[in-house]
Amino acid sequence: MASQLEQAQRVAKESPQQAVELYSSVLFADSTSSVSVAEREVALLSMAAIFERMQDAAALTRLINSSQNYLTAVSKAKSSKLIRTLVDRFNGIEGGLQPQIATCQGMVEWAKGENREYLRQALETRLASLYLDNRMYTEALALISLLLSELKKLDDKMQLVEVHLLESRVYMAIKNLPKSRAALTSARTAANSIYTPPPLQAHLDLQSGTLHAEEGDFKTAYSYFFETMEGLAAYVVPKSADDSAASASAAAAAAASTTDLASTGLPASFEQRQLQAFAYMLLCKIMIQQPDDITALLATGKTASKFRDHRAVAALQAVAKAQKQRSLADFERVLSEYRDELQNDELIRNHLTALYDTLLEQNLVRLIEPYSRVEITHIAKLIGLPIRVVESKLSQMILDKVFYGILDQGKGCLVIFPEPKHDSTYETALDTIKSLSNVVESLYAKAATL
């Protein structure tokens, strides 16, 4: 059987189908054969890797379902780790989310039948994360509610932290920020009573920073993103050549934590998560109107400098440059050139949309400042945008009282009024009447005592 495994490994790249057949003969060999449990495990994981490379979600589903007899034969801890690893293989398959959800649901039922409560809870946590990825928020919250009631009775603090963290992400996805913050507070409370692995602590900080950014507190968000990036530095880059043993142990702990924390929706690579946190740091500097700090940020520290040439970082640098020059044309060009980097992340996309609106508003105010009456077509020509977009934005600015004026659509003009002077006579009269009322009441009270 060892020869079959070696042969399968040799032909895996050139003839994956032949390798699958060889691995199948090892995995599903009779119990009377000399195949060891370790060899079956190698065959199982190798077949899953091949199906992921072939982008064959259906074959991966069949493999997981057909390997249940083998999973029953191994220890519970080993089978739990194998099942989570197999389910995570769907992440590398395009369009594999729906098959992954169906497979995870099937494995939850299997775990219930085998009375494996810990595995069932881990799979249900992973399933809730998949529901979140698929925008099935109602199903995710219902499953999280059941998990929380069970975990609180068991007092499983580590799993409780992960589920509360997942709950916070779901509520943030539906823009219920108060409940998202409450869930995050519960996660931090549970985390304070146990040892929290650095990867999990990094995700708590990342979620805290994201919530503060959503609420507009970018300075606090920046500090949380910085903690996230620095907290993972030891897991990504060895400190020195003399620390090889420590680096190896850190890498092993990181690998174990990746498996355990897959249900929280963390990126599989710690370096990817570092990059995400660093991109959010740059976004915070842009949103608080400090684009000059980005250059200094990239020039200091090994952790930051290694991302200098990444496209996501280059995209945010270009946005900062356009913001500094107040150039709407440059901003649009950056959004077009780096569409994937700036549009795939929801937090970056939402805040850059708000920044675009602010920049558009600043440019329009600058253009209409010399006029008391101006044609909308002239403004649209100067700013280089369609008349419909300019007209819509101007009407919004009038309603928001950015300036005072009206749109004369019959003549296609914008009429700008001078800012009205505030007359405080009414407020002063109300204050005088209130003071007189207090005097009368005081005199009445004194008269009543005579």
CB 57 within 8 A of CB 99: yes
Residue 108 lies in a domain: no
Domains contained in the chain, number = 1
Residue-level pLDDT at 385: 83
Residue-level pLDDT at 241: 39
**Residue 422 region by backbone torsions, left for phi larger than 0, else alpha for psi between -120 and 50, else beta:** beta
Grouping H, G, I as helix, E, B as strand and the rest as coil, residue 263 is helix
What's the whole-model pTM score? 0.77
Residue-level pLDDT at 234: 66
Residue-level pLDDT at 235: 63
Residue-level pLDDT at 149: 92
* Structural domain harbouring 238: 197-368
Distance from C-alpha of 268 to C-alpha of 104, rounded to nearest angstrom: 18
Residue-level pLDDT at 434: 93
Residue-level pLDDT at 258: 41
C-alpha R_g of the chain: 30
Residue 321 lies in a domain: yes
Question: Residue 332 maps to which CATH number?
Answer: 1.25.40.570
Please report, for residues 120, 336, 342, 362, 405, the alpha-carbon distance to residue 381 in angstroms, rounded to integers and kept in the order given. 62, 21, 27, 16, 20
CB 150 within 8 A of CB 121: yes
For the purposes of burial, counting CB atoms within 10 Å of the CB of 100, is it exposed (0-12), middle (13-18) or buried (19 or more)? buried
Residue-level pLDDT at 43: 87
Residue 202 lies in a domain: yes
Residue 219 lies in a domain: yes
Half-sphere exposure of residue 291: CA atoms within 13 angstroms, side-chain side: 14
Residue 359 lies in a domain: yes
Grouping H, G, I as helix, E, B as strand and the rest as coil, residue 260 is helix
At position 350, the amino acid (one-letter code) is N
Grouping H, G, I as helix, E, B as strand and the rest as coil, residue 34 is coil
CB 41 within 8 A of CB 10: no
Residue 327 lies in a domain: yes
Angle between helices 16-27 and 37-53 (to 10 degrees): 150
Phi, psi for 165 (deg, rounded to 5) = -65, -40
Residue-level pLDDT at 240: 41
Residue 41 lies in a domain: no
Residue 355 lies in a domain: yes
Instruction: Return the structure tokens found at 32.
Output: 């009377």
Distance from C-alpha of 4 to C-alpha of 74, rounded to nearest angstrom: 22
DSSP notation for 81-101: HHHHHHHHGGGGSTT-HHHHH
Instruction: Return the structure tokens found at 27.
Output: 């995995």
Please report, for residues 138, 362, 366, 407, the alpha-carbon distance to residue 372 in angstroms, rounded to integers and kept in the order given. 52, 17, 13, 12
Pick out the chain residues at pLDDT < 50.
237-268
Residue-level pLDDT at 244: 39
